[in-house]
Structure 1
Amino acid sequence: MKRILLSLALGAAMLAGPAQAQEPIRIGVIQTLSGPAAVLGQQARDGLQLAVRQLGGRMGGREVQVIVVDDELKPDVAVQRVQALIDRDRVDFVVGPIFSNILQAIHAPVVNSQRTFLISANAGPSSYAGRGCHENFFVTSYQNDQVHEVLGAYAQRQNMKKVFLLTPNYQAGRDAMAGFKRHFRGEIVDEVYVPLNTLDFSSELARIGSSGADGLFTFMPGGMGVNLVRQYGQAGLTQRVPFLSAFTVDESTLPAQQDAAIGMLAGMTWAPNMDNPQNKKFVADYEAAFGSVPGSYAMQAYDAAMLINSAVVATGGNLSDRAAVRTALRKADFTSLRGRFRFANNHYPIQDFYTVRAAKRPDGKFQTEIVDRIFENYTDVYAAQCQMRW
């Protein structure tokens, strides 16, 4: 009887082994998919799903299951939904979110879980780039300050003497201010923070118009950026006070801003017209699938999926050894759509940064286009404070 029971147990174990190995890799995607900023989350969701589709729905020989949830731009909602991804859906990776306040809410539950890695495909607050860095947290976008640093360096090169600063009042807005100031040596004539999701900028525009500024620097993502650019032109400021921005004039906002945004400068790590084979295919495939021009949100999420795929392939599809998965993620052995890309010791990218300009294509669609490289192989300033060494 003991031999029979042992044989049955061994047989069951042998059957369970292959079945378990064939469980899908589960990727939880948490993005803002409702409200004025929904277009940003939709781009990120679509970019990641395009990558999975191009991989044939498999990574390392295993099926991939993508589970998408909406954080509603509410930290408490985000915590509840990411906890469900971890506990109920048992995801292997969490990708997202767009906004830094959401990332701050979900960071601890994900990175301290027993099986899940957190990969931010957009938000990159300073709080996790330095002393708060974590071995289970990776970023495929940038450290928040860096894109804004591009505009500060540009304003300095253009010899602007006085600049007006305008951002939303949350972590990414504060990082934006800090980033711009890092390379700008002129006078800050005013520094204004508005509530997140502000859509009426009439009082701020009046202050800009009377400030005597040589330029405006702003960070207004999503619907905020759409309204600001429209109202800026209506107030007659476009020709008087040059408009410098990050995440305000991009592929997520240009379809609504259209001609009002043409010529406005921004900073970014990439643009749809970046000249490399993988990016040309990505842009063509994205436009064919979704009918719109991809922006950085889509690009970064696409790269996040390819980063995950590189780790799954490197570990032979075995995600049970977290140290091995972490080592594979750190190697970033994939071809980024932006070209050069590798991780610093804090798991934020080392990459190039550019000024980009809003333009209208011959087919009537709008996109940003690369103007000049401002920083090359740039590591964020907080990496030196991170204690991780590998």
Structure 2
Amino acid sequence: MLKKSVRYLVAGSALLAASAAFAQAQEPLKIGFLTTFSGVSSVPGEEMYDGFMLAVSQRSGKLGGVPVDILKEDDQFKPEVATQAVTKLIEREHVPIIAGIVGSNIMMAVAKHISDKGVFLVSANSGPSPLAGASCLPNFFVASWQNDSIAEVVGQYATDKGYKKVVLMSANYQGGKDLLGGFKRFYKGKILDEIYTPLNQLDFSAELTQIAALQPDAVYAFYPGAMAITFVRQYQLSGLLKTTPLLSSAMLEAPNLSALKDSALGAFGGMFWGPDTDNPASKKFVKGFEEKYGRIPSIWAAQGYDAAQLLDSAIAKVKGNVADKDAFRAALKAADFPSVRGKFKFNNNHFPIQDMHISQVVKDAKGRYTVRTVATPLKDHQDAYHKLCPMQ
């Protein structure tokens, strides 16, 4: 009788252990999503989140076959708020992965801390130059672009078009400095002036009067969030759009165009993707996004979607065991997923190597404001800093 009881006890213990293992296997994987959900830069943040969540919903709430719990945090475009949010996500929620981040000011404040804590960070937008070069990080991966690249392509386009003299404008912060530096790296003409305005400035009348007096062949500008809408609208109202081509990066996106309408028609932007990108992954994304949200997706949404797809591929490769950091890092580096941009490959610094295009604001067949790809000045483009990164 005693032996029989022991046998039942062993069998019962095994059953309980199996049940516990199953329950543990089904435990959702926590992923922090830190970005700007309020203030003048909230539109890119919301778009990134919507794109990310579209990919999650297409996989029935899973990434890599594992249920995920996405924890939203609003950095308010303030480094001190972002730092507090990161501490909460890592120390209280114990997330192994954080994704998102719009602003380079935010990224520079939190990236090293996140990587040093052994947490993986997947950028769905910001790619500041220091983190692409000597300060590159082993647990930091960029699913978008290195900041300079979306301006480098415009600099090359301006050179190809034969513009002899241009004026540059941007908000005075890391992202703006990177982009103007990128434009200058590939532009072979003369810079008449380089104008930096305070972050969150919304009146550009004085600067536009100054530009009109200089009579450049073109203007290159970069402003994030609501500043982009205000700048483009004032540029058009000043009459400059009729006489002086407006070149830009990450400003002429779908949410902005719905507000700008005719104010932006004919303006140009540099980017790695557009809604007219012709490949199966992009078509699936655009169709799914329009069905779910009822609007044309922006580049920010595409970046969020690809960030989720990158994580989906890497989590699947390690069968959900993201605690094996070396294996998970290698799985992320492999980037084995169908990117909306087509071919996708990480460089040694964990920034992408990709084609860079020029698009122009147009109306589509339904009368909606969107962008159409008009040139591909840079193919298989590598950022300017990867050789300074010691990682292989």
- Tell me if 1:122 matches 2:125: yes
What's the counterpart of residue 92 of structure 1?
A: 96
Offset at residue 364 of structure 1 (A)? 2.2
Cα distance in 1 for partners of 2:128, 2:257 equals 25
CA contact (8 A) 1:311 1:328 kept: yes
C-alpha distance in 1 between matches for 2:63 and 2:211? 51
Alignment of 1:179-328 (within 5 A): 179-328=182-331
Q: Tell me the equivalent position of 1:375.
A: 378
| Cα shift readout 1:119-155 (whole Å, capped 9, x = no counterpart) | 0010000010011111100001111001101111111
Q: Distance in 2 between matches of 1:11 and 1:335?
A: 40
**Residues 53-62 or 344-353, more deviating:** 53-62
Offset at residue 12 of structure 1 (A): 7.0
- 2:63 maps to 59
Name the SS of the counterpart of 1:197 in structure 2.
Answer: coil
Counterpart CA distance in 2 for 1:278 and 1:185 is: 36
Quote the offset at 1:55 in angstroms. 1.0
Verify the 8 A CA contact 1:124 1:141 in the aligned structure 2.
Answer: yes
Does 2:50 match 1:46? yes
Percent identity over the alignment is 43
Question: For structure 1, which runs of at least 5 residues remain unmatched after alignment?
Answer: none
Report the alpha carbon displacement of residue 61 of structure 1 after superposing the two structures with TM: 3.1
Number of equivalent positions: 387
Q: Secondary structure at the match of 1:174?
A: helix
Amino acid at match of 2:290: E
Aligned to 2:77: 73
Q: Distance in 2 between matches of 1:216 and 1:104?
A: 28
Verify the 8 A CA contact 2:64 2:311 in the aligned structure 1: no
Match of 2:4 in 1: none
Confirm or deny: 8 A CA contact 1:83 1:109 kept in the other structure: no
Please say if 1:112 is aligned against 2:151: no
Report the Cα distance in structure 1 between the residues aligned to 2:63 and 2:175, rounded to whole angstroms.
33
CA distance in 2: counterparts of 1:19 and 1:363, whole angstroms:
49
- Whether 1:132 and 2:162 are equivalent positions in the alignment is no
Task: Select which of 86, 101, 106 maps to 1:102.
Answer: 106
1:20 corresponds, among 19, 24, 40, to: 24
**Kept after mapping to 2: 8 A contact 1:351/1:377:** yes
What letter is aligned with 1:145?
D
Paired AA for residue 158 in structure 2: A
Deviation at 1:18, TM superposition (A): 3.4
Alignment of 1:331-342 (within 5 A): 331-342=334-345
Look up the match of 1:30: 34
The 8 Å contact of residues 63 and 308 in structure 2, kept in 1 or not, is answered as no
1:330 pairs with 2:333: yes
Aligned to 1:209, what secondary structure does the other structure show? Answer: helix
TM-score (normalised: structure 2): 0.95
* TM-score, normalization by structure 1: 0.95
AA at the equivalent of 1:343: F
Deviation at 1:37, TM superposition (A): 1.7
Distance 1:38 1:260 in 2: 21
Structure 2: any 5+ residue segments left out of the alignment? 1-8
> What is the root-mean-square deviation in Å for CA atoms of aligned residues?
2.0
Q: Secondary structure at the match of 1:329?
A: helix
The one-letter amino acid paired with 1:17 is: A
Displacement after TM superposition at 1:92 (Å):
2.2
Letter in 2 for 1:95: A
Among 372, 381, 390, the alignment partner of 1:387 is 390
Structure 2 CA distance for aligned equivalents of residues 50 and 184 of structure 1: 38
The whole-number CA distance in structure 2 between the counterparts of 1:35 and 1:47 is 20
